[in-house]
Structure 1
């Protein structure tokens, strides 16, 4: 009796797609959820016995997951219309029936799996990394940084490239060049790094070009849905000041 009290019947409505170019369709499933279950664990249970609400046995639902700790970002999807990681979406806190859809703005591979390659291409476009090799002295140790700067930078280092902010941004799309909020926030992070700052000018020029900072419409959807509460709009504001200063340097010279 106690075990039954710790379970609840849940209906899942899942938007499925068999192939990248296939037409999407909806299927409903009813299954038992354990106490404390999240969306990923429910999908794992469904994988073992994938029978629709109408009693039809179908192929297991394709989805991605890895860490189960809201660290990797792989399980992000649209849950009841909101982009969020499925591992931290607890069944008990979701309105029924629970609607699951692939993350928008990214090409669907199958069912709830999407291809995030475009976001990673944009990260490469803005050079969102710190070069280890260079003409500078590494001092054989990590560069020194103040506690205040470390705390500010840490907020941006939590990005797990889940794509939720990209999915919520009205300026991000397959027909638009905007790189999106996640790559912009990483530019802010890398520009503040003691070694990363050596490539600051190149990054700023990248986001001053087409598809860069000026394409942001300031909808602020990104900061509302970010599961890590990263201050994305603050980063965009700081980059606005950096690019303005860079434009003046380009016009009048660096001196």
Structure 2
């Protein structure tokens, strides 16, 4: 088999200009993009044989669970660990995510996404005591919905595909909306639901969603983001009228 041609868009530091480098890697059955980058790390040689520095990228679980190795592979946003070489056109072209600042090469800073999760309080509070008895029963439908939302691995694919999520918009993005709805479904969720809903009503909240529905198309975990966005819209509308009549 011919060597695998790999083109990587590189950047030495956040304020540096990007540039391209090409590598040739011996073919081996079962290669994925992650293993190609590991080969470059072991032998950092350009296609012409000259030495270069190893390519920087993020990785952790290697089984499409953590989302850290998300990047553009041949123009498609996806995870490097699940991008099998035998299914990809050649040359294989790798680029960093475009909606987040580049730290180096293919590694990006996704702090904005995690700050959005903080904003909508996408967690179950453990401080204090809640006397819920045995807790409310959850229907099978709610259980299935909550499980689907819980599959989100904060990879950022939905944010890359969302036209409303960019440097000129304060939109928190579909991932944060989905996680806010997930936490509202938790047995203790109603205790902090008003706070989450208030954040979804604020600047950059649900009103900034343009309903492009790209997010649900690119999500590698098939999280029902459009359903969550619809639920968030209904919750914010109900809170709006509740707040009016409380005055």
TM-score (norm 2): 0.95
1:249 equivalent to 2:239? Answer no
Which residue of structure 2 aligns with residue 67 of structure 1? 61
1:113 equivalent to 2:111? Answer no
CA gap of 1:58–1:142, structure 2 versus 1, over 3 A, is farther
Deviation at residue 168 of structure 1 after TM alignment: 1.4
* Root mean square deviation, CA, Å: 1.6
Deviation at residue 205 of structure 1 after TM alignment: 0.7
1:39 equivalent to 2:33? Answer yes
Question: Which among 195, 214, 217 is matched to residue 224 of structure 1?
Answer: 217
Conservation of the 8 A alpha-carbon contact between 2:135 and 2:187: no
Deviation at residue 135 of structure 1 after TM alignment: 4.7
Which residue of structure 2 aligns with residue 3 of structure 1? none
Q: C-alpha separation between the residues in 2 aligned to 1:127 and 1:136?
A: 18
Deviation at residue 130 of structure 1 after TM alignment: 0.9
Which residue of structure 2 aligns with residue 30 of structure 1? 24
Give unpaired runs (5+ residues) of structure 2: none
Deviation at residue 13 of structure 1 after TM alignment: 0.8
Give unpaired runs (5+ residues) of structure 1: 1-6
Which residue of structure 1 aligns with residue 10 of structure 2? 16
CA gap of 1:100–1:143, structure 2 versus 1, over 3 A, is farther
Which residue of structure 2 aligns with residue 94 of structure 1? 88
Give the paired residue count.
247
* TM-superposition CA deviations, 1:55-78 (whole Å, max 9, x none): 221000001111111111110011
Q: C-alpha separation between the residues in 2 aligned to 1:40 and 1:143?
A: 44
CA gap of 1:234–1:50, structure 2 versus 1, over 3 A, is same
CA gap of 1:89–1:143, structure 2 versus 1, over 3 A, is farther
Deviation at residue 136 of structure 1 after TM alignment: 2.2
Deviation at residue 144 of structure 1 after TM alignment: 4.1
Conservation of the 8 A alpha-carbon contact between 1:47 and 1:61: yes
TM-score (norm 1): 0.92
Written as runs of structure 1 = structure 2, the 5 A alignment for 1:1-255 is 9-139=3-133, 144-253=137-246
